[in-house]
Amino acid sequence: MKSNLLENIHSPIDLRQLDEAQLPQLAQELRDFIINIVATKEGHLGASLGVVELTIALHYVFNTPEDLLVWDVGHQAYGHKILTERRAVFHTNRQLGGISGFPKRSESIYDTFGVGHSSTSISAALGMAIASNLKGDFEKQHIAIIGDASIASGMAFEGLNHAGVTDANLLVILNDNAIGIDPSVGALKKYLTSVKQGKNPRQNNMIRSLNFDYSGPIDGNDIYAVIKELKRLQKIKGPKFLHIITTKGKGLQQAEENQVKYHAPGKFDANTGEIIIKSEENLPPKYQDVFGLTLLDLAKKNEKIVGITPAMPSGSSLKFMMEAFPKRAFDVGIAEQHAVTLSAGMATQGLIVYCNIYSTFLQRAYDQVIHDVALQNLPVIFCLDRAGLVGEDGATHHGVFDLAYLRCIPNLIVYAPLNEIELQNILHTAQLGLNHPIAIRYPRGRGVTKNWERLHLGKYETIEIGKAKLLQSGAKVAILSTGAIGNNVTLALSKIQPPENFAHYDFAFVKPLDENELHTIFSQFETIITIEDGVIKGGFGNGILEFAATYRYNSKIQLLGIPDEFIEQGSIDELQQYCGISVESLEIIFSSY
């Protein structure tokens, strides 16, 4: 029986003591380790399985951490974490108090750059390489590992464009598996496919034309071939580009055959690969499906409707419309800036554009929202999925800044539905014709309405823009909530005695605020509590403070929401508890009044 190699490897120093002939065994052990942990703890699976050989080879050939590895996005960095002093704690991955699911500088010296959003690796590694040159160090290696979906993003091309006119000691490794989370799209994907198939003439190589020393494509799951090429490239100065072909989900048959589902499959049987199905019977719908199914229903009735997503057709559920109306629904790849301005261009021609972007990724297109949409007052409908705390993906993915960064933009309507009924109604209202752009933000996960699709889909009410709703009458304290976090307020108030002390208002419109209702509230209540699942600084509660200051109201105002810090990973319940906006936290706060 072979001895276990992985259990004796605590760092790359130990790895480099092995004979090259032992590395295939180590690769199998590393794959098994990742599969066994992720099967029970959940996380991103397919990407890390695909780069096991590359990960081992990088740490075997290069002198990490002195040589610098920059992983793009970081979905694929589990093997890297396990080989760099975190094997013993890897079971805490993505859990509260555990290690992050993404590379993180404060976690390890081997994590040279914090990532979680795509296409940053080339720019970051180039910055490091230039810094090394300026410090007189021309031997240090700087390696960016980027996928074929991420390299199609504009920022990656900006990095390549700059790197090609430098003498930076930079190696870009393209991990080409033809898939990001969903399958890669676009002309670049077709170009890479032709290169892999040998149909593209060598003199037509676009990477060489950018002054990179290009090599490949090679089999990225052949550890000997990868090591041989890395050792050769180690001796070449200047910008280099290695094209490797890998299989996402390598080593687990189901993950290879269904790469979308096994990107982050949830819990599964480590031996068979079969996903452990959670019963969805009698559960409320996912907000993403409310969006996707409602948009499909609206699109059937209104031929002017189009849908756009930057590389999230499954996660946003735009896939429903893409399947039914492939010429009216577009996956533009990891290109948030392009998605927003493309939407603006379509809107100038009278189309009704639903641009679906995760809240955390709209940050990447902030100038386009201001300059290309709001400044021109184009009625683009932004649908911001995963708003608020998203759970285990942690600080890089929480959609907690949108209310603050959108509220300050002129012409923009900002709406946060209390539940899925309100989400479908605002989606309906928006396509009737608004005079302004609108951002509709809704959370990850499930709503509150069972049998929503059967009972409610297609049955719409038009929402009055800028109108707040009284959900519960009360005499002592007014609670003002925005969005789905208002359901926590409702649950907390149901446990409070006497309930008639508290009034609860749903301010779905963060902009424009219902000032008529606010005048009534401030004239009736001496104490006002605001609650949001966004940052307190600059958010909804700040809007209420601004109103009070403008009209010189003296009511006591308490703001509840996300504190002024980056919130780490954990379950949504745990993180809401930490931020003081869970049902239990609110019950304690309300009971003090």
The yes-or-no answer on residue 196 being catalytic is no
Annotate 232-243 with DSSP letters as a single string: HHHT--S-EEEE
Instruction: Write down the catalytic residue from 104, 248, 446, 511.
Output: 248
Tokens of 195: 């290169």
The yes-or-no answer on residue 446 being catalytic is no
The SS3 assignment for 506 reads: strand
The residue to which tokens 């409602």 are assigned: 294
Instruction: Write down the catalytic residue from 94, 364, 441, 446.
Output: 364
Residue 145 to residue 225: CA distance in whole angstroms: 17
Whether 485 contacts 575, CB under 8 Å: no
CB neighbours (10 Å) of residue 243?
Answer: 21
Residue 534 to residue 498: CA distance in whole angstroms: 29
Q: How many angstroms separate the most distant Cα atoms in the chain?
A: 80
Tokens of 100: 């992050």
The yes-or-no answer on residue 546 being catalytic is no
In 197-267, which residue ranges form alpha helices assigned H by DSSP? 223-234, 253-257
Annotate 2-43 with DSSP letters as a single string: PPPSGGG-SSHHHHTTS-GGGHHHHHHHHHHHHHHHHHHH--
Tokens of 177: 């598996």
Residue 194 to residue 201: CA distance in whole angstroms: 9
The residue to which tokens 């749903």 are assigned: 506
Instruction: Write down the catalytic residue from 336, 532, 568, 574.
Output: 336
Query: Going by C-beta distance under 8 Å and a sequence separation of 6 or more, which residues neighbour residue 98?
Result: 89, 91, 92, 569
Tokens of 580: 């003081």
User: What's CA 194's distance to the chain center, in Å?
Assistant: 30
Label residue 277 exposed, middle or buried (CB < 10 Å: 0-12, 13-18, 19+).
exposed
Query: Going by C-beta distance under 8 Å and a sequence separation of 6 or more, which residues neighbour residue 73?
Result: 102, 115, 116, 117, 118, 147, 150
Label residue 65 exposed, middle or buried (CB < 10 Å: 0-12, 13-18, 19+).
middle
> What amino acid positions are annotated as catalytic residues?
248, 336, 364
